[in-house]
Amino acid sequence: SQQGEEDPQALSIQEGENATMNCSYKTSINNLQWYRQNSGRGLVHLILIRSNEREKHSGRLRVTLDTSKKSSSLLITASRAADTASYFCATDAGTGGFKTIFGAGTRLFVKA
């Protein structure tokens, strides 16, 4: 059973628009991470937000966490064609990667 579930499954936008992806999870977590996967490649870590944080920024990325709703969102501002990829949320119920559970991902397509 998957802890994190992303929404939407797929998203297509124009270059310059903002892209928002959501992640819902079921049990209490220590932190939540977002990863990116380009086609045919491995996952790359983007950003981590701890359970006691509500918002975090990194460049054009903004992540929010609402532990009362057990949900997180990833916002990519001013999207570029190079942002085309799949984005996964990963929840950690404890320290140790074997406790990390990945969602099924959101496929983002940014049209130039």
Partner 1 sequence: NAGVTQTPKFRVLKTGQSMTLLCAQDMNHEYMYWYRQDPGMGLRLIHYSVGEGTTAKGEVPDGYNVSRLKKQNFLLGLESAAPSQTSVYFCASSSPTAITDTQYFGPGTRLTVL
Is the bond into 8 cis (omega within 30 degrees of 0)? yes
28 near partner 1, rule: CB under 8 A = no
**Among residues 36, 50, 27, 26, which one has the least CA distance to residue 89?**
36
Phi and psi at residue 32, in whole multiples of 5°? -135, 135
Q: Which stretch binds partner 1 (CB under 8 A): 21-29, 59-67, 74-82, 103-111?
A: 103-111
2 near partner 1, rule: CB under 8 A = yes
95 near partner 1, rule: CB under 8 A = yes
Spatial contact of 49 and 62, defined as CB atoms under 8 Å apart: no
- Residue 94 CB, nearest approach to partner 1 (Å): 9
Tokens, residue 18: 């903002």
63 near partner 1, rule: CB under 8 A = no
Please report, as ranges, the residues that interact with partner 1 according to CB under 8 A: 2, 9, 30-31, 33, 40-45, 48, 50, 88, 92, 95-100, 102-105
